[in-house]
Copies of this chain bind each other. A is one copy, B any other.
Amino acid sequence: MSDIVTFGETMLRLSPPGNERLENASDFEVMAAGAESNVAIAASRLGATATWLSKVPETPLGRRVVGEIRSHGIEADVVWSHRGRQGTYYLEKGGEPRGTNVIYDRENTAVSTAEAREFDIERIQDARVFFTSGITPALSSTLRETTMKMLKAARQGGTTTAFDFNYRRKLWSPDEAHETLTKLFPGIDVLVIAARDARTVLGFEGDPRQLAHRLGSQYDFTTVVVTRGADGVVGWHDSVVHEQNAYETDTVSPIGTGDAFTGAFIARRLHGDDVPTALEYGTATAAIKRTIPGDVALVSKEEVDAVVKDGGQSISR
């Protein structure tokens, strides 16, 4: 029985080293990367026990992904499939004025065929929190249904449901996302959403404080967190809005920053922290994540504590 159970796709991420371009790369770095496994790992790093659910092809590539997730000490409870591809994506690091570029190659994957009945739903119902993100229902109509069923099952089992809106324009249009995701909202307790997505996809207006308030009021969420990149986050809970600034960072990889925040926020809430404290820990974890290559928040609780307490340190020897 894990504190948090997450469900979603984890891809093989292929990226040229450093600032090389895909177009003339002679090597790719290989990693396993997915929002939901990232959240599970970040939560685990902050002290929660965590399980990641997915469906994965029974191939060396599928085993490659699952092995890496397991190396982080969380449970990977996957359905091994003899059909469907392993999803991949190509990431090319940018730099002003050229943005970081992602090329998805995730059609016809094994996970896109995952149905709720293939999983042991009691694992979700025995957990304290169930998490997935807006990427999952964007991947296939099957997954739309599966997501809905899992959220419902979690509710029935008394499990808190958390959801990161995570709009990806390369997967679907704002309208499609709007229609699908708002249907899931009634089953969600804790919503994390970028201010940009609240505006562009959901059509809300106002500054992040207002967005959080309006989202919290319009739907039946317990908690709403609006993220605003380098400006930190805003949390709405019990009709109160809390602001948390982001930390200054030497950014090595911005990918996974939001997942690091969400995993840490959930873990600290499970640990008993109030919302402002959990926002602070989430933000500190996200800050450290940015100093680390890859998608995963390879942090220790001690490091996060140190940042929360005194904003980090110099050479420790």
Which residues of A are at the interface with B, using a C-beta cutoff of 8 A? 14, 18-30, 59-61, 63-64, 66-68, 70-73, 85, 88, 90, 92, 94-105, 107-108, 168-170, 247-252, 254-255, 284, 287-288, 291-293, 298-299, 303, 307, 311-317
Contact = CB atoms under 8 A, between A and B. Distances in A.
B67 A293 contact: no
The number of times this chain is found in the oligomer is 6
A37 to B, nearest CB: 13
B97 A312 contact: yes
Nearest to A74: B70
A99 B293 contact: no
B26 A14 contact: no
A260 to B, nearest CB: 12
Contact of A29 (B27, B73, B316): B27
A47 to B, nearest CB: 14
A264 to B, nearest CB: 14
B85 A316 contact: no
18 contacts: A20-B293, A21-B60, A22-B61, A23-B298, A27-B30, A60-B92, A61-B103, A67-B72, A68-B71, A88-B105, A95-B249, A95-B251, A96-B250, A97-B247, A98-B307, A99-B315, A100-B314, A100-B316
B97 A248 contact: yes
A26 B197 CA distance: 34
Contacts of A315: 94, 99-100, 102, 254-255
A316 B101 CA distance: 5
Nearest to A284: B97
Contact of A96 (B60, B61, B64, B248): B248
A312 to B, nearest CB: 3
A139 to B, nearest CB: 14
A64 B23 contact: yes
What are the nearest 5 A-B pairs in CB distance? Answer: A97-B312, A95-B250, A71-B71, A102-B317, A22-B60
Contact of A108 (B99, B107, B250, B292): B107
Nearest to A314: B99
A61 B26 CA distance: 12
B25 A64 contact: yes
A270 B53 CA distance: 29
Given A103-B61, A168-B317, A94 B291 contact: yes
A309 to B, nearest CB: 11
Contacts of A90: 60-61
Contacts of A170: 316-317
A59 B98 CA distance: 16
A240 B54 CA distance: 48
A97 B18 contact: no
A97 B67 CA distance: 25
A59 B316 CA distance: 14
A251 B293 CA distance: 19
A303 to B, nearest CB: 6
